[in-house]
Structure 1
């Protein structure tokens, strides 16, 4: 195996991934992987705004711990307000979803994702990814590189490792994958408890 491809494949296994289908836009770029600075300046504004909103919500709720007994009521109010803003932001982010590049994941995690594609994308191709997380948990914009393309029925299973991604976006997708795993485990436990 090519040493670069081997290195990328190893990086793909650095994080846990969960089997779950979420919408992702995957667009093949004909340019080489840009520098980190060029990547940051190319992130669409709604994705920057979404990342900023998430970190602001977390820091606001943490500072409430020092208030005392009114903190719970105030936190509840702020969470409701944040939920309203999240719904609006989710709508704005969905406008970034391009039907021409829409795919569905088979699995995803902090290192990358595996998606179902109608077209073959050769290994080492650089792709632009817009990942729309389930349960309104946000969306991320990043660049990836294909590490494998295996034929599956009439389509292809494409594995992509994240190559240019902001730290807060990687944290967001890790949290989303853990939340999804927790939901799946609860569903399995509930199914086991159903009478036969």
Structure 2
């Protein structure tokens, strides 16, 4: 195996991934992989705002732990306000979803994702990704590189490793994948408890 491809494949397995279907926009990225600063400058504004909102929500809730008795009530109120803003932001982010480049994932995690595509992508091709997480958990703009393209009965399974992604966005994807795994485990436990 090509050493670059081997390195990227190893990186793909650095993080846990969960089998779950979410919406992704994936399109070829012409040229070379941009430098980190150039990538950051190219992130569409709604994705930057979404990232900042998530960070602000987390820091606000952590600081409430220090104020005592009323912290729980205030935290609930702030979470409701944050939920309203999240819904509005989710609507704005969905405007970034292009039907022409829309695919669905088979799995995703902190290192990359596997998606279904009607057409193949070349191995080692660079791609632009817009990842729309489930349950209004946010959206991420990043750049990836294809590490495999396998034909199935009616489409292609494309594995992509993230090559340019902000740390807070990778953290968001990791958190979303862990939340999804937790939901799946609860569903399995509930199914086992049903009488036959």
The match for 2:177 is: 177
**C-alpha root-mean-square deviation of aligned residues, in Å?**
0.4
Equivalent residues in 2 for 1:34-183, closer than 5 Å: 34-183=34-183
Q: Which secondary structure does the structure 2 equivalent of 1:6 belong to?
A: helix
Give the alignment's TM-score, normalised by structure 1.
0.99
The match for 2:24 is: 24
Looking at structure 2, the residues matched to 124 and 83 of structure 1 have their Cα atoms a distance apart, in angstroms, of 39
Alpha-carbon offset, residue 154 of structure 1: 1.9
1:120-146 CA-partner distances (Å, limit 9, x unpaired): 001100000000000000000000000
Q: Which secondary structure does the structure 2 equivalent of 1:66 belong to?
A: coil
Q: Which secondary structure does the structure 2 equivalent of 1:195 belong to?
A: coil
Q: Which secondary structure does the structure 1 equivalent of 2:124 belong to?
A: coil
Looking at structure 1, the residues matched to 120 and 51 of structure 2 have their Cα atoms a distance apart, in angstroms, of 31
The match for 1:13 is: 13
Alpha-carbon offset, residue 30 of structure 1: 1.6
Looking at structure 2, the residues matched to 112 and 157 of structure 1 have their Cα atoms a distance apart, in angstroms, of 13
Looking at structure 1, the residues matched to 185 and 61 of structure 2 have their Cα atoms a distance apart, in angstroms, of 27
Looking at structure 2, the residues matched to 133 and 66 of structure 1 have their Cα atoms a distance apart, in angstroms, of 31
User: Where does the alignment leave 5 or more consecutive residues of structure 2 unmatched?
Assistant: none
Looking at structure 1, the residues matched to 82 and 20 of structure 2 have their Cα atoms a distance apart, in angstroms, of 26
Give the alignment's TM-score, normalised by structure 2.
0.99
1:34-89 CA-partner distances (Å, limit 9, x unpaired): 00010000000000000000000000011111111011111111000000000000
Q: Which secondary structure does the structure 2 equivalent of 1:47 belong to?
A: helix
The match for 1:187 is: 187
1:140-170 CA-partner distances (Å, limit 9, x unpaired): 0000000000001121000000000000000
Q: How many residue pairs end up in the alignment?
A: 196
